Amino acid sequence: MPICLAASLAADSAARDAFAKMTAQQQDAIIFRARAVRSRDELFHLVSGMYR
């Protein structure tokens, strides 16, 4: 897991809970997308999109 995703999940309990409830396949997709993130804004949208 990319460190930026881990840090974002640690800071956002709603995203952490949403991630924990995902299937392994869904988690892998989020991790794959996080590896392609190039800005904080992109990461914010990825993480907040997990529970919105």
* pLDDT tens string 6-51: 999 999 999 999 999 999 999 999 999 999 999 999 999 999 999 8
**What are the distances in angstroms from CA 3 to CA 21, 34, 48, 52?**
20, 10, 17, 22
Q: What one-character-per-residue DSSP string does 19-51 give?
A: HHHS-HHHHHHHHHHHHT--SHHHHHHHHHTT-
Distance CA 10, CA 24 (A): 19
The model carries a pTM of 0.88
Q: Is pLDDT of 52 > 90? A: no
